[in-house]
Amino acid sequence: MMKMKMKCFNCFNCFYTKRRDRSSRKTNKSSSKVSEEPPVHTLTSQTNPQHEQQSKQDCKAEAVPKEDAVVLKEWSFKTSGSSIADGKTGRMTARPQSVNAKEPNKSSEKGDMTDREEQRSLAKRRESKENGTYRLKRKNSMTQEKDSRKSSTTSSKKITLNRPRRQLKKDLIPNPEVFHKIDTHAINAGRELRSRKIFSVQAITKTITGGAISDLDKLRAIWIWLCHYIEYDVKGYLGLSKMVCSPEQVILTGRAVCSGYSSVCLQMCREAGIECREVSGHSKGAGYQLGQSYRNNDSDHSWNAVFLDGQWHLLDACWGAGYVDTDKQVFIKRYKEFYFLTDPEDFIDSHYPEEDEWQLLESPIGIEEFGKRVLKKPDFYTLNLTLIHPKHSLIVTENGEATVSMSFPQLVHFTYQISQLSGKKPQELSKSMGFLTSTQNSMKLRIMPPKPGMYELELFARTGNTSEIFNWICSFQLECPSPKTSEELPENPHVCWGLQPDATSLGLEPCNYGNDIISLESGSFRLVLNTTRTLMVLCELSHKNLDKTLSKKCLAIQTEPDQLTCSVLCPYYGYYRLSVFVRDWANEADSFENAGNFLLHCTGGAVNLNELFPSGLSGSCGPGIKTQEAGLCEFSHTEALVYTQEGKCDITFQNPKDIDLLCKLTKEQCDQPPSQTTLSNHVLFTHNGSKVTMSINLPESGVYRLTLFGKTSFQQEFTFLCDYILKNTSANKWPPFPCMYNAWKKGCVLYEPQVGRLEASSWVKFRVHVPGAQRVSVHGDESVDLQLSESGVWEGKAFTGRGPQLKLAATLSETPNMITTLMTFSVVKPNEK
């Protein structure tokens, strides 16, 4: 296999943009776009068939996303045409250019592959023949220069290379905006020089560094000029034109490969009086494969080192200028600040020099360690991410599971993509094998592959609380010798498990739920989230056997001013996804945003389908915001679920505003024939001052829905206040209460009898309190007047007769000439009762 030195196969501006599907997310209902930062390239230079085949495989290993749009920033510069001296400088702006990457054009890889491969081989033979002499001369020159330095310099410069405390880039350049005038001048001056056809290194360097005082400012002007006015030599690399190599040709044509960038940078630095070196070595660019070995391979890239303020710094103008769109065979300008004076600790992840001293590290690493290191993309550093685990790009699962964790100082959102490396093309897999949790300052991703094999894991990130695209930050190769025996996790379209990292901005307080899988042994779960402001909430439950109708019967939501509660029932064993969405209570026009996703694992006690919650429940179960707004308070039962062991219960609360109340009791699959009674007769309201008692007698076991309504004025209709869920496990069959009429007003109390069915031909004692009544009587086969006691209670006995009904009536002070019915009782035979 032929190998050539100083070839640009792995330049980042030639790096092949990833083309696999990126799952994308938006919090509400749309999906986030995944963009690839690295430069792209599909080209190789080998001349034999084996090498050409390897080239095709490398191309296939890195493909553009199929579903998402990749946003490419093509730099443009708007200037006022003024000089630096007048202070009126132009602004440097990035113009986004959308490229539809959903269905990438494959013609450049397949349809024209034969012709392209021939062109590549021809290009490499031409490069070898025409530029071999140039490369040899330059290498000899560098060797002589190095030997000269060794003989003429003292050990002080050697010490400088390995200074224990070096100045970091963030200390040297707190903000790139400090170079605004320098950058603008270099761009404007470069444009003017090109229009005047001035291509001299001396003239260009002198002009673009004009006004720059420090070496750092001069170097910045050179860097900006290189990144803006030199494009990658795509046609030369393809063999469609003569390869541009020498500094003179690079400046004249405005095209170069990596060695062209580094050689021009060297010449310009010399003209500016800046000590500079060209550095050759290995890079993780086009064709790079995770975990590959670099031992016994020739160098494939070149960059620069410069000496500023007593220490050496690294830069790569080739990678900082942009990348190649291989489908269109054009260079895309995309400026990367990251590659200007990059810290050696970061630079070593992607650049390995031939000579260890140019690592600029206190403890240089070996070539094998370089190959194992995780390749971190520029956005990894832009987001200030720190990789906690693992330290190498190859991860071997333990007990069928692998973990990636990171930390960061500010909020960051993440997503990821998993592909199985089998066959020629990696197969994208579902995110259901991953469990991603994230907080304000940390992220942890657990991967559980479904079967043995090799996998590729790609991570993407963006700044938190933004709708920016997700950018590729790093990749790992995952080896799974033995998978964990486990059921597949449910799909999570919102990617992150637990509370979303920005949940606090949505009004939720931090909680401990969701950092791990929540195991349920009883088939039920109660999620309680504290809030910092009043919120409206929606919940969604997902399981492989649940449809939408059934899933709604598994959820009961209680909304309180400072707390949200979601009660969950699990009718099946296995994994469930519980997703929570919130919006501000008062802003009805706002859309609901995903606030959290919780992974539940039901291992026992699955709930019977007939014991699920009633259908049609609202988002206001139990006392909450609506009851509070109506003025109701001091509920005896503060939760939505009420359990009755004997089949009856009393729910009390205060009604200081004295609003009118109404309730409705319903039950699905009721055993009682509907012709006998309505369930609402099983609820009795009793008013005692501001205290209200709802007495409930249930006719059978099961699950009931008790809905409370209220109105504050005569003209207003009854409005919904809340739902109670009654669960009765008793076998008792309690009879209904009497049928109440509108005249039975607040303050009326029925002491006896509190059942609506009376036995025929029997004597029944009556005791009632009716405020404002002048006369109270019972009417059946016979009429009986009740007597008013000293305690204000009307008392007496009445004979039920043969029925079918007894009426309790009164003469009220507001209608003295009328007898008004208050309630009725059914009279039944003993065997019918």
Q: For 297-329, how does the pLDDT look when each residue is reduced to its tens digit (9 = 90+)?
A: 888 899 999 999 899 999 999 999 987 776 788
Q: What angle do CA 651, 654, 656 make, to 5 degrees?
A: 155
- The total of other beta-carbon atoms located within 10 Å of residue 711's CB is 16
**Quick one: pLDDT band at residue 832, thresholds 50, 70, 90?**
low
Between the alpha carbon of residue 534 and those of residues 507, 537, 567, the distances in Å are: 8, 10, 19
CB 504 within 8 Å of CB 590: no
**Quick one: pLDDT band at residue 100, thresholds 50, 70, 90?**
very low
In 383-425, DSSP assigns E strands to 386-389, 394-396, 402-407, 412-420
Q: Can you give the length of the chain in residues? A: 833
- Which tokens belong to 289? 């494969």
DSSP state of 609: G
Q: For 454-492, how does the pLDDT look when each residue is reduced to its tens digit (9 = 90+)?
A: 999 999 999 988 888 999 999 999 999 998 877 788 999
**Quick one: pLDDT band at residue 802, thresholds 50, 70, 90?**
confident
Residue 826 pLDDT more than 50?
yes
Percent share of the chain, pLDDT over 90 = 57
Q: What pLDDT, on a 0 to 100 scale, did the predictor assign at position 326?
A: 67
Q: For 212-267, how does the pLDDT look when each residue is reduced to its tens digit (9 = 90+)?
A: 999 999 999 999 999 999 998 888 777 788 877 788 889 998 999 888 999 999 99
Q: What pLDDT, on a 0 to 100 scale, did the predictor assign at position 776?
A: 95
Counts for the chain of helices (H) and strands (E), in that order: 16, 46
Q: Which of residues 105 and 489 earns the better pLDDT score? A: 489
Q: What pLDDT, on a 0 to 100 scale, did the predictor assign at position 716?
A: 80
Closest CA to 226 of 258, 271, 180: 258
Q: What does the pLDDT average to over 133-151? A: 45
DSSP strand pairing (787-788 vs 794-799): antiparallel
Q: What does the pLDDT average to over 694-722? A: 90
Cis peptide before 452 (omega within 30 of 0): no
Closest CA to 601 of 815, 448, 781, 414: 448
Q: What pLDDT, on a 0 to 100 scale, did the predictor assign at position 244?
A: 78
- The string of DSSP codes covering 136-170 is HHHHHHHHHHHHHHHHHS-HHHHHHHT-SS---HH
Between the alpha carbon of residue 247 and those of residues 202, 244, 443, the distances in Å are: 12, 9, 46
Between the alpha carbon of residue 631 and those of residues 242, 249, 626, 638, 712, the distances in Å are: 85, 84, 9, 15, 10
Q: What does the pLDDT average to over 397-406? A: 94
CB 567 within 8 Å of CB 580: no
Q: What pLDDT, on a 0 to 100 scale, did the predictor assign at position 830?
A: 77
Q: For 332-348, how does the pLDDT look when each residue is reduced to its tens digit (9 = 90+)?
A: 889 999 999 999 999 99
- Burial classification of residue 531, based on how many CB atoms lie within 10 Å of its CB (0-12 exposed, 13-18 middle, 19 or more buried): buried
Mean pLDDT of the chain: 80
CB 260 within 8 Å of CB 244: yes
- What is the maximum alpha-carbon separation in the chain? 132
Q: For 612-621, how does the pLDDT look when each residue is reduced to its tens digit (9 = 90+)?
A: 999 889 889 9
Most confidently modeled of 77-86, 112-121, 258-267, 741-750?
Answer: 258-267
Q: What pLDDT, on a 0 to 100 scale, did the predictor assign at position 671?
A: 52
Q: For 592-631, how does the pLDDT look when each residue is reduced to its tens digit (9 = 90+)?
A: 999 999 999 999 999 999 899 998 898 899 999 999 999 9
Q: What pLDDT, on a 0 to 100 scale, did the predictor assign at position 287?
A: 66
Cis peptide before 753 (omega within 30 of 0): yes
- Burial classification of residue 697, based on how many CB atoms lie within 10 Å of its CB (0-12 exposed, 13-18 middle, 19 or more buried): buried
Cα–Cα distance for residue pair 728/820, rounded to 1 Å: 36
Task: Using CA atoms of 358, 361, 367, 368 in order, give the dihedral in degrees to the nearest 10.
Answer: -170
- Which tokens belong to 316? 């790569």
Q: What pLDDT, on a 0 to 100 scale, did the predictor assign at position 678?
A: 61
Cα–Cα distance for residue pair 492/542, rounded to 1 Å: 9
Closest CA to 203 of 165, 259, 157, 251: 251
Q: For 413-424, how does the pLDDT look when each residue is reduced to its tens digit (9 = 90+)?
A: 999 999 998 877
